[in-house]
Amino acid sequence: MGGPKGEIRIGGQPILSYLLDRFSWPGPTLLVTAPGREHPPAWERFDREVVDPVSDQGPLRGILTALENLKTPLLLVATLDMPGVQRSQLLWLLDEMRKSPKRLGLMLRRSEGKTIEPFPSVFRTDARDTINRRIQSGRLSVQKLVEEKSFETVVAPASWDPQIWANLNVPADLTNFTNSMP
């Protein structure tokens, strides 16, 4: 993106504000930041911010950091570079997770294919040990958590707006996303 993703602005506001307004989440919120990326714009809107204790281990380390600091039995993960995700999709995913108490983690697959989408996703606190073991062995892929017992995928409803999958990796992605906004 040419800079930290936490500095992105959508509709004139920091991306974290945009997401929190979009989600209007009724429960506690936790922001996980990388070392050296603490306190991005609008960080103070979260209930808490925690910093990964280890840098350069990617999103899986962020999930473990969140699980280590969790005060609820479930962790719902949304990333700041996927601004098309809506509250309704998060609630749907949470409901799917609750249908099977033995699941440790649940990720999505797009309805038209078999590609695993690691975010948004949901995890139980009991997933900590498995995720920590994978990180310690250098297996840092979130998608490949499905290799582990009790980590599963579910097909996303075909009715979901394809914009949910928009991922901001380069400046053109942000331009495309903002141009498609109503």
- What does the domain layout of the chain look like in residue ranges? 5-175
Return the structure tokens found at 37: 């990326």
If you search the block for the tokens 């993106």, which residue do you land on? 1
pTM of the model: 0.94
Q: Which fold has domain 5-175?
A: Spore Coat Polysaccharide Biosynthesis Protein SpsA; Chain A (3.90.550)
Taking only the tens place, the pLDDT of each residue in 2-11 is 788 999 999 9
**Contact of 47 with 29, CB cutoff 8 Å:** yes
pLDDT digits (tens, 9 = 90+) for 27-39: 899 999 999 999 9
Question: Quick check: helix, strand or coil at residue 13?
Answer: strand
Is 106's pLDDT higher than 90? yes
pLDDT above 80 (res 111) = no
Report, as an integer, the average pLDDT of 42-55. 95
113, exposed or middle or buried, with CB in 10 Å at 0-12, 13-18, 19+?
Answer: exposed
CA distance 43 to 46: 6
Q: How far is CA 171 from the centre of its chain?
A: 20
